[in-house]
Structure formats: C-alpha cells, structure tokens
Amino acid sequence: MSRCYLLTAQHSKLPTHNSQLITQNIFFRMPSIDFRLYLVTDRHQTQGRPLLSVLARFIDAGGTAIQVRERDLNTGQLMALLQDVQCLARSARMTVFINDRVDLATTMNTDGVHLRETSLPVPAVRDVVGSSHLIGVSAHSIDGVVQAECQGADFVVLGPIYETPSKRGYGQPLGLAMLERACHRVNIPVFAIGGISIARAREVRSAGAFGVAVISAILAAADVAVATHEMLNAVAETTTR
Ligand code: TZP
C-alpha cells in the first residue's frame, strides 16, 4: 500500500470542494489508492464457509483490499479476526481496513479505517491516525460524497447503487445517474457499492466510479477465486478514471 503527497505551487483555482486546498501554498493530499476492488466482510454471507478461508481465496486470486466489517463481534473477537486477516494479508499486497473502530485501527496498525456517516468525523479521525492510515467514508448521497472529500477522506464508497439484499435498510437504490453526478463532483476516488455484479461493475466504471465495493458477489460466490478474477478484470477493463 503506497501513499504519495503532491505539493504544488500552482495558483490555478482548484475546486473549492477540495478541502485539502490551502489557497496561498496550495497543498493537497493525493494518496494513491492502488485498488479498485474493495471487499467488505460479512461472515454471515459466506454460504457457511469459514470467513478466513474465503478471504484466503480472495487474496490468492489477487484481491487487494479488505474492510473487516463484523459489527456484531465484540472488541476481543474483532481483534482476533483482524490479527488473522493481517496474517493472511502480510505476504500479499493487501490493504486491510477496519470498519468504524479508530481505536482498533491504531492499536492493530491497520492500513486504514472505514467510517460511516455516523462515525467520528474525518478531521477528528485524521488527528488520531495522521497520514499513515487511509480513511474511507461511506456515503449515501451526493452531499455525503462531497462532504467526505471536504473533510479530507482518501476515498468514498457510495451506495446502494442497485437493489441489494445485503442492505435493505438504506432504502431506494441511488442509481447510475446519481453515481455519475457524484463522480463529477469530487476528485477523490468513488467506489460504487450495493448489488454490484460483474456486469454492473463494468457499468459503474463506465459511469465514472474508480472502483467497486462488494460483499455478496465475492463472499457468497460458489467459486470465490473465479468471482475475484472476473471482478478484477471487470474493474480493470473500463478506464474512465
Ligand atoms: N453499503 C451500502 S450497500 C451495502 C453496504 C455495506 C451492502 C453491499 O452488499 P452487496 O452484497 O455487495 O450488495
């Protein structure tokens, strides 16, 4: 996982929604997000297989980013799971995120933390984790995407774009047109989430998404390795951003 910082003396007017802009000495952070497929965990969707064995297949097949999101585990259980995932990830080029738990991100030294709209605000988290951790944010509207960028998130996950049984609580799907508008509003990478299949991965990339975030398309796949290969190919094919 690599991050880079771009320092430029350029005085052109950058979009005001880019919070990293400081007008006199223009400085903005440009972390290199080097993955386009972001796997979000849900051990209840693995078709009865142990989560770690599914993740191992994902990693072996070339998967490069995992967000551990097991909201019904207690702190000790989450720490143990994170440790196992980090062990798996060590020999691969794998970026590991923890959902919401800034305390575990620092204690366990994950590569990043993924925030919900109701989590601690990005600037407060940045104060704690500094520039050594990536910060991803979930958004459910264009305003949420713009706010994530303004607050200094490294990337944003927008959804649900399509109908998904994984997250009925988030209401109506946002649709491709809204995804496209959101992608035009920000410079940070936008990942599409919610009901993403292989064919839809191509569709959202064409609409401007930098990548896709998925649960069931990989975790519930009969052949996790094949699903991972196909999804990686699908997100690599369209090069809109
Ligand atoms: N946030 C918006 S939709 C969603 C999350 C976590 C669930 C995505 O699951 P799936 O199975 O990839 O549709």
Give the active site residue among 167, 181, 185, 202: 167
Give the active site residue among 57, 69, 126, 200: 69
- Confidence at 40, pLDDT banded by 50, 70, 90: very high
Contact between 101 and 107 (Cβ < 8 Å): no
- 2 carries an active-site annotation: no
Q: Report pLDDT for 56.
A: 97
Antiparallel, parallel or unpaired: β 27-30 and 4-7? antiparallel
Domains in the chain, CATH or no CATH each = 3-22+34-237 (3.20.20.70)
Q: Report pLDDT for 135.
A: 98
Mean pLDDT in residue range 9-31? 36
Q: For residue 178, what is the enclosing H or E element?
A: helix 176-185
Cβ 116 under 6 angstroms from ligand 1: no
Q: Report pLDDT for 164.
A: 86
- 53 carries an active-site annotation: no
pLDDT digits (tens, 9 = 90+) for 218-228: 999 999 999 99
Q: How far is residue 75's CA from residue 95's CA, in Å, rounded to a whole number? A: 21
> What is the number of other CB atoms lying within 10 angstroms of the CB of residue 193?
28
pLDDT digits (tens, 9 = 90+) for 142-191: 999 999 999 999 999 999 999 987 666 777 899 999 999 999 999 999 99
The DSSP symbol for 207 reads: T
State the average pLDDT for the chain.
87
Q: How far is residue 16's CA from residue 13's CA, in Å, rounded to a whole number? A: 8
- Confidence at 241, pLDDT banded by 50, 70, 90: low
- Backbone dihedral angles phi then psi of residue 122, each to the nearest 5 degrees: -55, -45
The DSSP symbol for 167 reads: G
Cβ 66 under 6 angstroms from ligand 1: no
Residue 238 has pLDDT above 70, yes or no: no
Better-scored residue on pLDDT, 195 or 169: 195
The tokens 């993403």 sit on which residue? 196
Better-scored residue on pLDDT, 90 or 155: 155
- Confidence at 93, pLDDT banded by 50, 70, 90: confident
**What atom of ligand 1 comes closest to residue 159's alpha carbon?**
2
Q: Report pLDDT for 169.
A: 74
Mutual orientation of helices 224-237 and 51-60 as an angle, nearest 10°? 50
Chain Cα centroid distance, residue 179: 15
